[in-house]
A = this chain, B = another copy of it.
């Protein structure tokens, strides 16, 4: 893979947010004995470097009643070295869609030897493991893991830690192009190989997101992303006193973290999770509020934003879904102690203009779960490991 070097970095306390880096060539060929002298603006990430990181990376696919054909395509696009972790909240009755997903991934693993785990979000063992770890934030009143993509993602992080991985990457299950999934994983690995801090996050910016309505129109930004980015940039600008537009991936569902970073972040529920991650980083390490972890601050936290070559083509979830994403995302920005009056006003204005709140309303405060590091991950691992075979999609010979 050939990729641009970051050309600009915004510093906020010990947080470094790199401006967007574009993928220039999907497949940059063999490692040469005498490496070519690359242009100062370009980096070639060797296949071996990428695979070294992939071996230490879990790709998490949260899913809920997704079309099986899409789900199958997505798992087939994940590079072989990555452990796949599917956390499914699909229905069990009247049609057992979870069972269909299990069958599909088992068939895939049978023919490819790919390592994969699949677990239902309402699995009683999972709930027990979460409870024994003391992670009550994740549980509902029935003592099961709460509904929602965010909770599934956090559970998957605990599993990735248990599996001794160093990185975790997220990929949505509704992607039409296996080749795009493949590129996300490569971008994650390339990003981590470029990061200077072990506390790193890679967020994906889609080259284009085709809009299908009487032909194709290639939008660069969705309305939701545009608004979220604007408000986050306002948050940073008012603190630093210099206007910035560095945040271009505020809502990025496709993103990855080193587990050393992932385990120290608190997580929001629902669609606030991705914007909240950035907010939490700025809170914990931006130097405005008390520093969350001294050692981490010494290394710094690095956010990379990578623009893919492939456009992003996924299931259209409709306008309601978009509003459903806007409100919680801006809620995360609105309710951080970092948020100044000016940015609050901006958020309220945007939400009112888009009919997402009434004039006297505020966006909801996100439900926040404690960082995984605060819970007993050892206990979690003990419970899960005992039942690991039943979650593995690859049968032992």
Residues of A within 8 A of B (CB): 2, 23-30, 36, 39, 41-42, 47, 51, 54, 69, 73, 76-81, 108, 110-114, 176-180, 182-183, 207, 210, 212, 215-216, 218, 309-311, 313, 316
Contact = CB atoms under 8 A, between A and B. Distances in A.
A27 B212 contact: no
24 contacts: A2-B111, A2-B112, A24-B108, A24-B111, A26-B76, A26-B77, A26-B178, A26-B182, A29-B54, A29-B80, A30-B81, A36-B113, A39-B110, A39-B111, A42-B111, A42-B112, A76-B309, A176-B216, A177-B177, A177-B310, A179-B179, A179-B182, A179-B309, A313-B313
A39 B112 CA distance: 8
Q: Which 7 A-B pairs have the closest CB atoms?
A: A179-B179, A29-B80, A27-B79, A178-B309, A25-B112, A179-B310, A29-B81
A100 to B, nearest CB: 18
A55 to B, nearest CB: 8
A51 B39 contact: no
Contacts of A41: 111
Nearest to A176: B311
Contacts of A23: 76
Given A30-B51, A111-B42, A76 B25 contact: yes
A147 to B, nearest CB: 27
A24 B107 CA distance: 10
- Residue of A78, A113, A180 with most partner-chain B CB within 10 A: A113
A12 B179 CA distance: 35
Given A26-B76, A29-B51, A76-B309, 17 more contacts: A2-B111, A2-B112, A24-B111, A24-B112, A25-B76, A25-B112, A27-B79, A27-B182, A36-B113, A47-B47, A77-B309, A176-B210, A176-B216, A177-B180, A178-B309, A212-B215, A313-B313
